[in-house]
Structure 1
């Protein structure tokens, strides 16, 4: 066992000599106390770290694994460069009266409510705001000069991807909170132990299911604040189930940032439309050397449209001869107050 501060005879050394062309020589000598080749000293090279991080992000985000995971999390499409998001046409499952901006019919009557009959077709289109996901990470040279390991790099990559996922979901929640097809309700925030809070939340979501776009929670993706994840996971442990998705009985996507409440996104009526670049990749990942601050800037970017605005035709006259297209509430937003 080596004693701290004890002198150890160097076993190997490497030298580097630089000639600037003016007979001014400069160089360095590095000594090692183990049988280490110079080509294995890359664990202190910041450029190697950045290159490995970029390659790992490229392989994952622009590979089949990420696309499969994205489709499991939320309904989505990956469309070629230059194309538009694909709208959907789905038939409603139940009658419903919708309220909309006042419209006038041919008899100069102002109509603000109309019946949407079962079997009517709902058209979906992208929201008026698309989401540009853009995150930058600054990797300072002096933070890595002491060395790094494969494990620390994997932890860093996992943390970056998780932060991007939660932040992007938060931006989606912000867009949905003001979308015309979002119907909002306010309920009292449940209190008590995790099991009690979870039961109240599940009951609340169940009572606010939009029966025209789904019949049970499994027909929806639940978008919820990340602050509820620990509570619901603890309740899942107490209930003896695998995780919060098994507990709720629906797909779950946490989000960070401002708390907009919980959202019920119908799987058959909403989707995310990711834009591919001309190279066929959804994500653009690039590393730029920032010499002024002795660091590397790693940028990860993507653009996604949110296909969540519902449109439907309603009657403005009793005989049905005059109809108009209005916004149809498909997404339920439950605000906890």
Structure 2
């Protein structure tokens, strides 16, 4: 504003101050700058978006999220520009592994070989990395009616929950076609929630891969979110706190396409999150969408899935000729 230029007062430059001691004594203050962010913050979309971004930054790029991620599934957070860390783990049980036919020195086609106890399994990332990217458009007119801290917290929790379930669903899709995933089929349990839960636990226990674990607590159970309500109800009937207490191990629900239930060995698989050059795992951006009178909020990260197992098997009886083949570590139980 130019010096000595008159500007008519309006809602953005005038605020009404009430005396804290005597509410009958008030004053009107005129400012040459915008006072909306101070006095009308609860109806300002930009303030709402700023608070949402700060809340997401504090949680997703804080220590609490990293600790929760490591409790849910084995994972690492690697510096920018580095490669995912593979694992080398010794098997504790003999197992016959089937693979694509290979020819040995005697021109014989071998379609399965024995992995002896003490053999070393090498794990590496799957061929497909996962880009987690979610965007939400926040329209101005949805915020200008007003908002509260409680509604902001509910929105943030819902966004983070949707991202978690959707990302787990994408991981399930990648694992469903991974070479180290062994598919099996079982009849879908029916009946009351407690009966369904008991049958599901029996199915999981019956399909434990003894080469990479001996009980359910050695695995992370990745399951469709449609089973969560049933298992939670069964947990209530059993008098325990939640699904994890009922099953006895970590449980990660996923949304989207139903790929079945996965048993992920805790000592043989992991997620490898890529940090940015600023050290943050998650990138959170808010941009103004002027054409729609809205704000676009995007939350993204990149994660590699270290779940492809490789092991050497003998193609000849003397063991002089060996071949690296995919080792089935993950069990995918499809309920039909």
- TM-score normalised per structure 1: 0.91
In the alignment, what sits opposite 1:122? 121
The CA distance in 2 between the partners of 1:254 and 1:99, in whole Å, is 30
State whether structure 2 residue 152 is matched by structure 1 residue 153: yes
Equivalent position of 2:233 in the other structure = 234
User: 2:11 and 2:287 mapped to 1: Cα distance?
Assistant: 29
1:262 aligns with 2:261: yes
> 1:29 Cα deviation (Å)?
3.5
Matches within 5 A, 1:224-303: 224-303=223-302
CA distance in structure 2 between the partners assigned to 1:211 and 1:166 by the alignment: 29
1:182 aligns with 2:181: yes
Alpha-carbon distance between aligned partners in 1 of 2:231 and 2:326, rounded to the nearest angstrom: 33
Distance 1:184 1:252 in 2: 19
Residue 94 (structure 1) aligned with residue 93 (structure 2): yes
Indicate the residue corresponding to 2:10 in structure 1. Answer: 28
Superimposed CA distance per residue, residues 48-83 of structure 1 (whole angstroms, 9 cap, x where no aligned partner): 110111011111101100000000000000000000
Superimposed CA distance per residue, residues 203-245 of structure 1 (whole angstroms, 9 cap, x where no aligned partner): 0000000000000000000000000001000000000011010
Q: How far apart, in 2, do the equivalents of 1:203 and 1:155 lie?
A: 37
> Which residue in the other structure is 2:55 paired with?
56
The match for 2:132 is: 133
Cα distance in 2 for residues equivalent to 1:227 and 1:56: 29
Secondary structure of the corresponding residue to residue 84 of structure 1: coil
Residue of structure 2 in register with 1:72 after alignment: 71
Secondary structure of the corresponding residue to residue 11 of structure 2: strand
| Cα displacement (A) at 1:41 | 2.0
Distance 2:131 2:6 in 1: 50
Q: Pick closer, same or farther for the CA change 1:273–1:56 going to 2, 3 Å.
A: same
**CA deviation vs aligned residue, 1:235-280 (integer Å, no higher than 9, x gap):** 0000001101010011000000000000000000000000001111
Q: CA deviation at 1:33?
A: 9.2
Q: Distance in 2 between matches of 1:275 and 1:29?
A: 47
In structure 2, runs of 5+ residues without a counterpart are 20-28, 30-34
2:222 partner SS: strand
**Contact 2:15–2:39 (CA<8 Å) still a contact in 1?**
no
Gaps of 5+ in 1: 1-18
What's the offset of the Cα at 1:20? 9.6
Q: CA deviation at 1:28?
A: 2.2
1:168-197: CA deviation from partner (whole Å, max 9, x where unpaired): 000000000000000001111111000000
Report the equivalent of 2:215.
216
Offset of residue 35 of structure 1: 4.0
Greater shift, 26-35 or 166-175, is seen at: 26-35
Match of 1:47 in 2: 46
Tell me how large the CA RMSD over aligned residues is: 1.9
Kindly tell me: are residues 109 and 294 of structure 1, through their superposed partners in 2, closer, same or farther at Cα, counting changes over 3 Å?
same
2:165 equivalent to 1:199: no
